[in-house]
Structure 1
Amino acid sequence: MRRIHTMMTFTRAARLLILLILLALLGFGCGPMKYGPIKSSDTLSTPNLLVEADAAWQAKRYEVAELYYADALERSDLVRSELPTVYSRLAKSAIENEHPQQARLALEAWGNIDTKVLYRLDWELPYLDAMAALDKTERLRNHLKWVLESDAVPWETKWEVGLWYNSYFIEKQNAERALDVLDGFYKQAPDDVARAGFEHEFLTRLQAMSDDDVEALSVAVNSANQWRFPYAMTAFERGVRSVDSEEAWPANWRTLRNISVNAELVDMDPLRSRLADLESRYGLPTVGLALALPVTGPYAKVGIKILRGTGLAQWRLAQDGVNVDIKVINTQIPGWEARLDALPDHYSVVGGPLRVNAFKRLYEAGSPGKNILKERAVFSFMGSLGDKIEGEDAWRFFTSRNDEVRSLVSLTVDQLGIRDLAVLYPEEKFGRTMSETFYREAAPLGGRIKGMQSYPSRELKQWSKRVSKLLKVPANFSENKDIPLEMPDFGAVFIPDGWSQAQTLLPNFFFYEGDQLVFLGPGLWSRALDSTKGIDEHYYRLAICPGAWWADSDGGRNLQNALTEEGLGKADFWVALGYDFIRFAGQFGVLPSNWDADDVNTRIQSAQGMDFSMAPITWTKSGVASQELFLFSPVRNGKQLVDVEKLKVRIAKAKARRERRMKAYEKRIDAKMKKSRRSSATNPDIPPTH
């Protein structure tokens, strides 16, 4: 009763305000009378008052309707069965009249007499409008959570509430929440029919939005959500609106087709129908890709493997209706860069080359006044672009030195708990570069470099001495091998050299009692282990190396199955590289004639969400690539994924062996000292042993 009394008190004040407004409209000669004569509610019986209120409501005379319905609530003879209609229409009239507090009080009073109305649409929408007008942000957030979690609210109400919140967050310029809220309600749809209806309603609203609103919403679409509702539909609508010319069509066609094929929607027909209309208008574009690879000469074997992967990808894309025209430029033939430069403009994306010297030819050669890197978007198959800026001058589709080092340091520091590290590197370019990278990358990841030692790469006799120097082995070790060596002040050592060199180096650590150390190798080890058999596991139980290819990964198995189906042999890293690149670059479409780095980086963000057969590569928004590498341990017949828990156990056992040896030595020394003291006591002429 207290709540109803409060309501009645408020409505008297509101009634006076509304009455004054009406009198002003009627009495000051501002044009023709809009509302006609208003009967005084005091002269009307309650039934007649309701008749007048209903008439005003039907005529959309909301100021009058609000006044009459508010008066009706003060009548003691108002029939209880009339209350739902009175509260509902009073609230909606108050919203129309921009009196949100009046609406709120009416709705709360209605909810107090019947809590079931909270599940009804004619209560929910006015309540949300009132809360928004009163700027009750916290109340709206809590109410959204309640509706989502309530099993009592019917789907028909949730549907409309979800759409209301979508519009609300769009007005608040919060694209992430605008789409996220639809995602949350969509997942609660009771069946496919309900989900399809929700899709159609949102698509209708999308098509009615301005270009600016659609563009703002599309910011919330990313590689993780791009195939789901409502993100896929938002990206599709943005793509449709971007097709404003024949030049823009090839670039957007691939995006639209990807969504129309891969989106996780119940009803794909509206999207496919709109794409078909565009295809009939502009035709099916052909995507041109160039590959700069060695097809003859010393690196031909690698180049041909890459082409085997690209051929498979081209065939698979053709089966999906995507025509990719591939031109292969043999980088072993003089003048290859001129042939690349002479290709038609629609070959706007290039994969390769493999070698640094070939990459330099792309900007040192070309026709007079031309720089091929500025004419075509080049994705090199190299770990570094040298002095060129990644994401601006060119791009990388390959594992970098930083990728290898980060993966090793992260595992060592974060999972094995080893922070103190050392580096033993060969005195040649690759070894020095990798050791510098390791030194630079370790500190930000929590690593501390406690030792760094080089060795001459061609003087094997020096290797043992350099290992002993790194381990700080005493000079007289060969004369006192019975004395245990001090534990090194680091727990892992990085050795940036080839696998065959590692097979010679690692036994030296065991000779100097370094068998408890974790040995970190580069990706060279991983690639060598793909074809290595009969490994002596004794020296490599604590060895780790990174790699971009793992045949038993989901992507690796899918690639091998596809190769087997087409009779194209065995998969490996290079085949996977070619296969992944064509599927990745095939999503770009044709770059516009005036493309810049931002155009490429934007397309990368969409394309990178594909399923890779090798370790996935991701790019920042500025176009810098990084690869989440697999980590391997050498085993007798190749390699296997690192088992961190097994490594921890092996490290603990190796340290325990070292401690037992030290204790045994100390025990022998102690026994020897006791024996010496006894001998000195029985024979004073014999000096004690110190």
Structure 2
Amino acid sequence: MKNSAYTVKILSALVLIGFLAWGCAPMQQPIKSADLLSTPNLLVEADAAWKAKHWEAVELYYAAALERPDLVKSELPTVYVRLAESASRNGHYHQARIALEQWANTDTQALERADWERLYLDAMGALGKTERLANHLQWVLGATNVPWPTKQEVALWFADYYGTHEDYERALDVLDRFYAQAPDEQAKSLFEHEFSQRLANLDDTRVDDLAKAVTPTNQWRFPYALVAFERGVRTASDSAAWSADWRTLRDLATSGELADPIPLRNKLAELEARYGVPRIGLALALPVTGPYAKVGVKILRGAGLAQWRLAQEGVDVDLRVINTEAPGWETRLAQLPSHFTVVGGPLRIDAFKRFYEADSPAAGVLQKRAVFAFLSSLGDLTEGKDAWRFFTSRVDEVRSLVQLTVDKLGITDLAVFYPEEKFGRTMAQTFYSEAAPLGGRIKGMQSYPPHELKQWTRRVGKLLNVPQDFSDNKDVPLPMPDFGAVFIPDGWRQAQTLLPNFFFYEGDQLVFLGPGLWSRALDDAKDVDEHYYRLAVCPGAWWDGSDGGRALQTALTEEGLGQADFWVALGYDFLRFAGKLGTLPASWDSALVNKRIHKAEDMDFSMAPMTWDESGTASQDLYLFTPAANGKRIVDPEKFADRIAKAKARRERRMENYEKRLEEDGRPASATGQ
């Protein structure tokens, strides 16, 4: 108590010096000399000064009261908290800290009080004690004896503190961590309401800054959902943004992981009454008659399911189908009402060209509507500027294959065996261009005439560097090729004829890389001879065993809509994606579309997920399959590597057996030509 009294005396002296320095500035009321007042009267004067918010007098009186030996112990909490509060108000943060620490020394339960925590944090923040603040935050988070109301106060203080220091991720992370400790739903609800009120009082710039910490992963939970919602509310009056904002607000109000979503739903209803419920216009340009009708109808089946599901959630999608096989389809597309601002398709490149050919009635569609083509490439157009892609690209296929061989199988030496036609040449060039940046080295490149089957065996032999006298020395093992995997960009039917030729030339230890054409063909394949395809791999955007694939099949089964496949998944995913894009304003540009895509891509895809970079270029993280007896199965890299090792071991045993025979015959091993 001796040290404590001494500290208080110093504190009182400092306060008095401050008042003397303050000089003749006007005061709310005269300060009586504390020395002339009894302790009860001193407390009466202190209380009166407190009620009058005369902070200089409050600080002086309560500092003096702490010196009195007859001060009743029950008065201490009031004295300390008011002394700390007034000292903070006067900018005397050292004094506030001293008072608070004295209080904690005499009563450790003081730290469990919300007022103590707030004042202590204010003092530490003003004094720049960042390390002490960080330590205190961790202590409160881990303390089991600190009651929830106090923890909530600490959480909100730190959120504001980090926000003012432009550390927005930490500001929201603190709230997230404390929210997880809330004892029940009511406590969480009150926490949400308090934070929502504070958000409402922030200016637009601060809300925008906080929104930078919201990601597609965290946006559904507190506090991120409330930040995203508040930001949407702030921009709701912008008619150009309302369609997309409405979808975001609606998703958060209905799907947010909050204890009490009612305030969000009430606010959304208020905004809908003011600005209306947007109607999303979507056109699908697809072949629904003719040779490609089967594919077009499957896409429509998936889109129809998505439209029905969205309607049940209150999202109105006005869907129009334009049959690209019917005469005059370009005119019908061009004449759609203005709210049809997004187009899915077409499915064929010749139909897509009608969007920018000068003599086409659809020549202006790319300027009026955002077109998402179901094509692997947009040809001469710039993706993300002239139009967009909602389909697997050739680069996606090649990247997935090279990443498997180089990164997971350790095969860096590669070859390409391609047909002499447009698709084969294009895919071969893509593979050649993409392999090197990913760590692959092209050691062999060989073409073959696609319609001259008799040439195929000879061309395979040329790729494998088979000696010309092979037919005369069939007992001599062939040299190992200088590559471990070969890319064959041709159809599955052609592959079934090509691959046995590699086995004829003892290439059964090679990994055969096929395009996505193999994967789609294998969806309907039966009785596949696995002997030739144990080391074959192909990429694909559809896997019925994925979470998204199973969810789609369940939805189709519930509605009696048959079997899911890639084309059904394409329609289902695209319509839901377009619904999140919303209706584009009349003044839209590619930058706006790319910005909306960034939000729309955050969805549960039924096919392999797609993403778009800032420039609007799409990419897809494809699945990898190997042919199986009844179609295909997903590749397990470890098991696949084990198969490669076994195939190489068989090749080595053949060589060892041949060398043994040479030794038995007294011939040198060099006769093998290895």
TM-score, normalised on structure 2?
0.93
Select between 531-540 and 308-317 the one with higher mean Cα deviation: 308-317
Q: For residues 364 and 112 of structure 1, what CA distance do their matches in structure 2 show?
A: 83
- The one of 6, 15, 18 equivalent to 2:15 is 18
Structure 1 position 446, deviation (Å): 2.4
- Is 1:324–2:321 an aligned residue pair? no
- Is 1:587–2:584 an aligned residue pair? no
Q: For residues 361 and 89 of structure 1, what CA distance do their matches in structure 2 show?
A: 78
Q: For residues 346 and 68 of structure 1, what CA distance do their matches in structure 2 show?
A: 71
- Unpaired runs of 5+ in structure 2? 670-674
Counterparts in 2 of 1:514 and 1:75: CA distance versus 1, 3 Å: farther
Residues 553-577 of structure 1: per-residue CA shift (max 9 Å, x gap): 2222222222223232222111111
Residues 264-294 of structure 1: per-residue CA shift (max 9 Å, x gap): 1121211111122222333333211011112
Residues 126-150 of structure 1: per-residue CA shift (max 9 Å, x gap): 1211222122233323322332233
Q: For residues 658 and 21 of structure 2, what CA distance do their matches in structure 1 show?
A: 107
Q: Tell me what 1:441 maps to.
A: 434
Structure 1 position 74, deviation (Å): 4.7
Q: Tell me what 2:171 maps to.
A: 178
Matches within 5 A, 1:170-319: 170-244=163-237, 248-319=241-312
- Is 1:34–2:31 an aligned residue pair? no
The amino acid across from 1:439 in the alignment is Y
- The one of 516, 522, 538 equivalent to 2:515 is 522
Q: For residues 560 and 99 of structure 1, what CA distance do their matches in structure 2 show?
A: 67
Counterparts in 2 of 1:639 and 1:368: CA distance versus 1, 3 Å: closer
Q: Tell me what 1:422 maps to.
A: 415
Q: Tell me what 1:687 maps to.
A: none
Q: Tell me what 2:550 maps to.
A: 557
Q: For residues 359 and 68 of structure 2, what CA distance do their matches in structure 1 show?
A: 91
The amino acid across from 1:630 in the alignment is Y
Q: Tell me what 1:356 maps to.
A: 349
Q: For residues 645 and 240 of structure 2, what CA distance do their matches in structure 1 show?
A: 64
Counterparts in 2 of 1:417 and 1:103: CA distance versus 1, 3 Å: farther
Structure 1 position 531, deviation (Å): 0.7
Residues 325-366 of structure 1: per-residue CA shift (max 9 Å, x gap): 111122223442232222111000110111222222212248
Q: Tell me what 1:604 maps to.
A: 597
The amino acid across from 2:598 in the alignment is Q
SS at match of 2:49: helix
Select between 505-514 and 394-403 the one with higher mean Cα deviation: 505-514
Select between 135-144 and 71-80 the one with higher mean Cα deviation: 71-80
SS at match of 1:266: coil
Counterparts in 2 of 1:75 and 1:600: CA distance versus 1, 3 Å: same
Q: Tell me what 2:472 maps to.
A: 479
Structure 1 position 504, deviation (Å): 1.3
- Is 1:111–2:104 an aligned residue pair? yes
Counterparts in 2 of 1:612 and 1:68: CA distance versus 1, 3 Å: same
Counterparts in 2 of 1:42 and 1:391: CA distance versus 1, 3 Å: same
Q: For residues 120 and 489 of structure 1, what CA distance do their matches in structure 2 show?
A: 74
Select between 527-536 and 88-97 the one with higher mean Cα deviation: 88-97
Q: Tell me what 1:541 maps to.
A: 534
Counterparts in 2 of 1:153 and 1:409: CA distance versus 1, 3 Å: farther
Q: For residues 615 and 580 of structure 2, what CA distance do their matches in structure 1 show?
A: 18
Query: Identity rate of aligned residues, in percent?
Result: 67
How many residues align? The count is 669
Q: For residues 472 and 569 of structure 2, what CA distance do their matches in structure 1 show?
A: 54
The amino acid across from 1:22 in the alignment is F
- The one of 62, 68, 72 equivalent to 2:55 is 62
Q: Tell me what 1:679 maps to.
A: none
The amino acid across from 1:539 in the alignment is Y
Structure 1 position 640, deviation (Å): 0.9
- Is 1:623–2:616 an aligned residue pair? yes
Q: Tell me what 1:500 maps to.
A: 493
Q: Tell me what 1:165 maps to.
A: 158
TM-score, normalised on structure 1?
0.91
Structure 1 position 75, deviation (Å): 5.1
Structure 1 position 550, deviation (Å): 1.2
Q: For residues 369 and 343 of structure 2, what CA distance do their matches in structure 1 show?
A: 7
Structure 1 position 196, deviation (Å): 1.3
Please say if residues 333 and 362 of structure 2, whose CA atoms lie closer than 8 Å, have aligned partners that are also in contact. no
Counterparts in 2 of 1:68 and 1:373: CA distance versus 1, 3 Å: same
Counterparts in 2 of 1:437 and 1:369: CA distance versus 1, 3 Å: closer
Structure 1 position 445, deviation (Å): 2.3
Q: Tell me what 1:683 maps to.
A: none
Matches within 5 A, 1:48-87: 48-74=41-67, 81-87=74-80
Residues 479-506 of structure 1: per-residue CA shift (max 9 Å, x gap): 2222222322222221111111111111
Q: For residues 43 and 485 of structure 1, what CA distance do their matches in structure 2 show?
A: 113
The amino acid across from 2:544 in the alignment is A
Select between 218-227 and 525-534 the one with higher mean Cα deviation: 218-227
Q: Tell me what 1:665 maps to.
A: 658
Please say if residues 291 and 351 of structure 1, whose CA atoms lie closer than 8 Å, have aligned partners that are also in contact. yes
Structure 1 position 616, deviation (Å): 1.3
Counterparts in 2 of 1:152 and 1:453: CA distance versus 1, 3 Å: farther
Q: Tell me what 1:133 maps to.
A: 126
Q: For residues 637 and 338 of structure 1, what CA distance do their matches in structure 2 show?
A: 45
Counterparts in 2 of 1:486 and 1:63: CA distance versus 1, 3 Å: farther
Q: Tell me what 1:653 maps to.
A: 646
Please say if residues 354 and 362 of structure 2, whose CA atoms lie closer than 8 Å, have aligned partners that are also in contact. no
Matches within 5 A, 1:388-427: 388-427=381-420
Q: For residues 305 and 334 of structure 2, what CA distance do their matches in structure 1 show?
A: 26
Q: For residues 245 and 521 of structure 1, what CA distance do their matches in structure 2 show?
A: 49
Q: Tell me what 2:525 maps to.
A: 532
Q: For residues 493 and 408 of structure 1, what CA distance do their matches in structure 2 show?
A: 11
SS at match of 2:250: helix
Q: CA RMSD in A?
A: 2.5
Q: For residues 458 and 368 of structure 1, what CA distance do their matches in structure 2 show?
A: 38
Structure 1 position 224, deviation (Å): 1.2
Structure 1 position 34, deviation (Å): 2.3
- Unpaired runs of 5+ in structure 1? 677-690
Structure 1 position 536, deviation (Å): 0.7
Counterparts in 2 of 1:35 and 1:281: CA distance versus 1, 3 Å: closer
